[in-house]
Amino acid sequence: MMLTEMNLCFDEELLKVLGPEETIFVNICVEGHYTGDSSTNYMYEFYNSDAYLKLLDYYMHEMPYEVAKGRTGVPDYWIMSKLRERQLSTC
């Protein structure tokens, strides 16, 4: 499955955190992860990016402590879920 259309919808607050290329990259990761595109491991690509580190810093105050420590959840999945929620509520 190839992504042919992308909805670049993030609120102004996140656009201040990520640069233009990072915004596009994160959108590709969110869309690919949630549409079930198995041609790329989007979580791996996201986890190994500077955008992930910026978003981890941005969401650290909001992320549950146990998730941030990896005890009850995985921080990258938590961030991806949060990005999906924001994307759906913004668009």
Give 11-70 pLDDT, tens digit per residue.
678 888 998 889 888 888 888 877 776 667 888 888 999 999 999 999 999 999 999 998
- Domain-embedded: residue 90: no
Residue 28 is predicted with a pLDDT of 84
Residue numbers of the domain that contains 48: 18-66
Whether 34 and 84 have beta carbons less than 8 Å apart is answered as: yes
- Domain-embedded: residue 36: yes
- Domain-embedded: residue 55: yes
Domains of the chain: total: 1
- Domain-embedded: residue 11: no
- Domain-embedded: residue 74: no
- Domain-embedded: residue 60: yes
